[in-house]
Amino acid sequence: MREIITLQLGQQSNYLATHFWNAQESYFTYGANEESPIDHDVHFRPGIGSDGSETYMPRTVIYDLKGGFGTLRKINALYDIDNDAASNSLWSGKTIVQRQQPIEASSYQQSLEAGQAPAELTTNTVRYWSDFNRVFFHPRSIIQLSEYELNSTVMPFEKWHMGEELFATLDKEHDLLDRDLRSFVEEADQMQGLQVMTGIDDAWAGFAAKYMERLRDEYGKTPIWVLGAQEPHRGLSREKRLLKLANKARALAEFNSQASLIIPLALPETPLPLSVRLDPTSTWHITALFAAALESTTLCTRLKTSDRVYSSSLGNIADLLNVFGKQTIANLEMSIFEPQKSQHNGNGTNDVNGSADAVHRRDERMRNVYGAGIDHDADSESGSQKGVATLDIDLSSPQDLNLNQDYRRRRRRRVFSQILADRGPESLELVDRDDELEMRNMYGIRRRPKVHNYRSLVAFPIIDSYPKIFRDSNGRPMKDCVSIQTALSTDSTVTDKVKALRSAVIRSIGLEDRETIGNELAEIADSYKEGWSSDSDDDDDDE
């Protein structure tokens, strides 16, 4: 059934995952004549509630600190069993139960529970990720780690070693994989992989690194994707910024040998296009942008297999991107486009099936976008192309190139492989295509990158839990849905980013780990040099 199991580690990842699950929930259809193109069994599991009713909940395990879940209850309306501490105690004497003042539910959640039209969300009303959550989770999915408290000023959960030590302590006591994950894995008939959503610039990176070691030991050949969210650095002190960069450097070094694919996510420090307006201080806004890109680039992993040409898997995508077997870090870019209103049918499927004529017209428009010189490989499952796309919004931490002020020499970007995902019913306009992005190996032989194209008529749904960050040509918020194109690439910019990151943080890493981390980062940088001669004239600045 191609199941994907998700691990959510920490506040940043839970904001990101909540947007993801809300989008998945919007794809469900309830009319007799409606059919969703999404295979819901990939991310959702069937079950039986406490009252015997059938349930359908995400295949996920959610970790967060004390206070991080907000108003989300471990026991929800579908599993509303007696959870009174006094009645379940083995102690026969008198008990005293002390309860904290409960957090008041947001007006949005109150509206959902009452079956009313949801109240509008704002950056002021979203205090926790549970404030805009639209799905029920199984009680086994909710794991609160009470050793640390969210946003604590006394003992903030921000240093790498804190995450490592917390995982080691919990795993020694409980065996976290057995207690939290194994039941979800055993329910899967044919698991296609694991996706780990985590912060990579705080203590959750250390927690994730230890978790990844256990995952790789237990599931040696299973594809594992790491989706690493980062907080904006703007406004942080130099000390805090350096700490986050050091955590990120350690994370890349540790994840590189364990993950099948690593996708770092950061809000660009350069101005966003006019089609995107967001509050850079709002985690709800920032992760909404991340989620739109991630949900779009992975759409092909959950499409029904009847569309064989444009459905794929986590393992296949990782293999297509990792050309030389050592390139696990991929850069993610995106562009958004205003959808044609006439194409949206309002039933949640975004006119996903469409007509043969619509698909033909769309393919014709795509040929116009990329130009007539593109060749398609008929033997390729996804249709390889020679053109490489450069999109409007770079989420792959482009600011890392500026970390080292002494580092001024920039090479032209070389793309080894690219997954181009195009969703929505209308044409995509003015995609930059650099025909010169050829690579020469050390013998001077030119090699063009492989671009694997996936398309779907399913537009990205803009639902009431999603912030109004996308604007049309008139500056008004887009409604209902939006067309998105994403490019997931392994390319030579990783070399420059990792080198700059290493240079910026290496002295702040303890002596006992400095050499190991430094060598690992240097190896990562070198693995993105294959395919051309580093002494070639092509390495010179374009300026």
Q: Which of 519-523, 527-531, 533-537 has the lowest mean pLDDT?
A: 533-537
Total residue count of the chain as it appears in this document: 543
Residue 399, pLDDT > 90, answer no
Q: How confident is the model at residue 40 (pLDDT cuts 50, 70, 90)?
A: very high
Exposure string over 23-58, b if 16+ CB within 10 A, otherwise e? bbbbbebeeeeeebbbbbbbbbbeeebeeeeebebb
For residues 157 and 168, what is the distance between their CA atoms, to the nearest angstrom?
A: 15
Q: How confident is the model at residue 55 (pLDDT cuts 50, 70, 90)?
A: confident
Q: How confident is the model at residue 322 (pLDDT cuts 50, 70, 90)?
A: very high
HSE at residue 104, side-chain half, CA atoms within 13 A, is 3
Q: Which of 68-77, 144-153, 526-535 has the lowest mean pLDDT?
A: 526-535
Higher pLDDT, 533 or 126: 126
The reported pTM is 0.85
151 phi-psi bin (left φ>0, alpha ψ -120 to 50, beta other) = left
Residue 134, pLDDT > 60, answer yes
What three-state secondary structure class fits 413? coil
Q: Which residues does 496 contact at the CB level (< 8 Å), separation at least 6? A: 401, 407, 410, 411
For residues 527 and 56, what is the distance between their CA atoms, to the nearest angstrom?
A: 43
The chain-wide mean pLDDT, for the chain, equals 82
Q: What is the pLDDT of residues 80-133, one digit of tens each?
A: 544 444 444 455 666 676 666 678 888 999 999 888 988 899 999 999 999 999
What stretches of 98-232 show up as alpha helix (H) in DSSP?
107-114, 160-174, 176, 182-187, 203-218
Segment 256-269 shows an average pLDDT of 95
Strand ranges in 180-304 using DSSP code E only, listed in sequence order = 193-199, 224-229, 261-265
Higher pLDDT, 378 or 419: 419
Count of beta carbons in the 10 Å neighbourhood of residue 270: 9
Residue 368, pLDDT > 50, answer no
For residues 464 and 466, what is the distance between their CA atoms, to the nearest angstrom?
A: 5
Higher pLDDT, 126 or 413: 126
Exposure string over 508-539, b if 16+ CB within 10 A, otherwise e? ebeeeeeeebbebbeebbebbbbbbeeeeebb
All domains in the chain, ordered by first residue: 4-539 (3.40.50.1440)
Residue 220, pLDDT > 60, answer yes
CA-CA distances (angstroms) from residue 472 to 38, 290, 369?
Answer: 27, 19, 20
Question: pLDDT value at position 91?
Answer: 57
Question: pLDDT value at position 535?
Answer: 41
Q: What is the pLDDT of residues 490-511, one digit of tens each?
A: 999 999 999 999 999 998 888 8
For residues 532 and 263, what is the distance between their CA atoms, to the nearest angstrom?
A: 24
Question: pLDDT value at position 65?
Answer: 96
Helices (H) and strands (E) in the chain, counts: 13, 19
What stretches of 327-373 show up as alpha helix (H) in DSSP?
356-370
Q: Which residues does 297 contact at the CB level (< 8 Å), separation at least 6? A: 332, 419, 421, 486, 488
Question: pLDDT value at position 1?
Answer: 64
Percent residues over pLDDT 90 in the chain: 60
